[in-house]
Amino acid sequence: MENRLAWGKQVLAAQPFSVLLGAELLSFSKGGVELKVPIKAELMQQHGFVHGGVISYAADNALTYAGGSALGPGVVTSEFKINYVRPAMGEFIVARATVMHAGKNQAVCRCEVYVSSRGAERLCAIAQGTITRVGQPSKPRTQPRQST
């Protein structure tokens, strides 16, 4: 799908919380996605690191996009698990998610979240979760739904 990235950006722009966090969709292809969140002061916890909630947001949303690339519009993350492996400090985080297996109604996806600082990327979290189709997939007017 040629316009997948444009469509994905449109969905992201329609999510007020993603807008609040400043998330950007870097790439979006069948089976994979890259979601970036620039690090700003208001995304921190009390020690100058990116708050875990920002990292889990990025992982969750990237997993949903990855699942949606396999299942089509109208999907949600029904569950996921995340391991934080390193405090994140730098210019931005980027979550990269891929599809490990997709059935008709569910996809199982993985995600790595990296923090970029001075041009170098370091892994800060990994995640794994289930993306589920919702609503009426046959109705073309059904809007995509991420992360209810």
Per CB under 8 A, 15 contacts a copy of itself: yes
Per CB under 8 A, 5 contacts a copy of itself: no
Per CB under 8 A, 6 contacts a copy of itself: no
Task: Write each residue from 115 to 134 as x if it is in contact with a copy of itself (CB under 8 A), else as -, in one continuous string.
Answer: --------x--xxxxx----
* Cα separations in angstroms, 119 against 90, 91, 125: 9, 9, 18
Residue 106 CB neighbours (<10 A): 16
The enclosing H or E element of 114 equals strand 106-117
Per CB under 8 A, 94 contacts a copy of itself: no
Is 68:1 a contact under the CB 8 Å cutoff? no
Judged on CB neighbours under 10 Å (0-12, 13-18, 19+), 58 is buried
In the complex, what is the shortest distance from the CB of residue 37 to a copy of itself, in angstroms, rounded to a whole number?
A: 10
All residues at 6 or more sequence positions from 42 whose CB lies less than 8 Å from its CB, including other chains: none
In the complex, what is the shortest distance from the CB of residue 118 to a copy of itself, in angstroms, rounded to a whole number?
A: 20
Per CB under 8 A, 142 contacts a copy of itself: no
Which residues bind to a copy of itself, rule: CB under 8 A?
11, 14-21, 41-47, 49-54, 56-57, 60-61, 64, 76-88, 100-101, 103, 106, 108, 110, 112, 123, 126-130, 143-148
